[in-house]
Amino acid sequence: MEKHSKRYVSAAKVADLTAEYSLTEALGLIAKFPATKFDETVELSIRLGVDPRAGEQMVRGTTPLPHGSGKQVNVVVFTDDPEAALAAGAETAGLEDVMAKISDGWLDFDVAIATTDAMKKVRTLARILGPKGLMPNPKSGTVTDDIAAAIQAVKAGRVEFKMDKSANIGLGVGKRSFGTEKILENTKAVIEAIGKARPATYKGHGYIKSIYISSSMSPGVRLASSEFSNY
């Protein structure tokens, strides 16, 4: 007989965890689940129908969250003008000196941004930054010459999504303390952005196969397919 955690058992008293719910219903249930002593992140787990082995079907992109992520974002900027980047809100900025720190194992940041010129050198860090999902990329808006705007965007709550090797995407859409309405609007923005990122080579139905929503310590609640059937 399968054993479940105390939190799962408590949550199961609130909801039928084998059923599907509308987004509004799902968020209402999460609000009723037992709370923790910290402000949990509300997270989406999205299963896609694309072939993760086909490079042309890679799904990635960014989207602003209407109400931000609730997360403090630590930004490093690769640039020859570190003073301007620091003035714009970056926690760390520089080029060769910052690259040397990273080569020595320093990875105490959430987002890396690079100017187009600096990126020529930053590419040498691909083997370190790539596996961590920290490599600057033009598609995610993190390779740009408008550094101030890029910093403002990521600190305001722009989130990046990227499919893993199993065709899954996981990301946070805010904090439990935000309340149902703000989380609902953030979640809709993410689902729409992922829907629009559908690869041109993907044919047929079932691009988004399933979506579960949860808080950091709660079990997942499955969304009804009507919430994403347009994609």
The DSSP line for 3-59 is ---HHHHHHHHHS-TTSEE-HHHHHHHHHHSPP-SS-PEEEEEEEE-S-TT-GGG--
58 with 165, same domain? yes
Phi-psi region at 206: left, alpha or beta (left = phi > 0; alpha = psi -120 to 50): left
* Structural domain includes residue 39: yes
pLDDT at 9: 60
Domains contained in the chain, number: 2
- For the entire predicted model, the pTM comes to 0.74
Chain position carrying tokens 């007989």: 1
Where do the DSSP E strands lie in 96-193?
A: 111-114, 158-162, 168-175
Domain-located, residue 1:
no
Q: Which two tokens stand for residue 39?
A: 């402000």
CA angle 215, 178, 44 (to 5 degrees): 35
- Residue 78's H or E segment, with its range, is strand 75-78
Please return the burial class of 104, using the count of CB atoms within 10 Å of its CB with bins 0-12, 13-18 and 19+: exposed
Helix axis angle, 23-32 relative to 180-196, nearest 10°? 140
Kindly state whether residues 204 and 137 are assigned to the same domain.
no
Q: What is the dihedral of CA 98, 138, 142, 152, to 10 degrees?
A: 150
- Chunked into runs of 10 residues, the chain (231 residues) has average pLDDT values of 55 76 95 89 96 90 89 94 96 97 96 96 96 90 94 87 94 93 96 94 90 93 92 83
Claim to verify: residue 109 and residue 126 sit in the same structural domain: yes
Query: Same domain for 173 and 65?
Result: yes
Q: Domain of residue 208: give its range.
A: 6-69+159-227
- Give the single-character DSSP code of 80: S
Residue 142 lies in a domain: yes
d(CA 38, CA 176): 10
Is residue 65 domain-shared with residue 164, that is, in the same domain? yes
State the pLDDT at residue 10. 66
pLDDT of residue 6: 67
Alpha-carbon distance of 196 to 57, in angstroms, equals 13
Cα radius of gyration (the chain): 19
Q: Note the pLDDT of residue 203.
A: 85
* Residues 79 and 152 grouped into a single domain: yes
Query: What is the reported pLDDT for 157?
Result: 82
Does 81 share its domain with 146?
yes
Which of 140, 156, 172 is the endpoint of a domain? 156
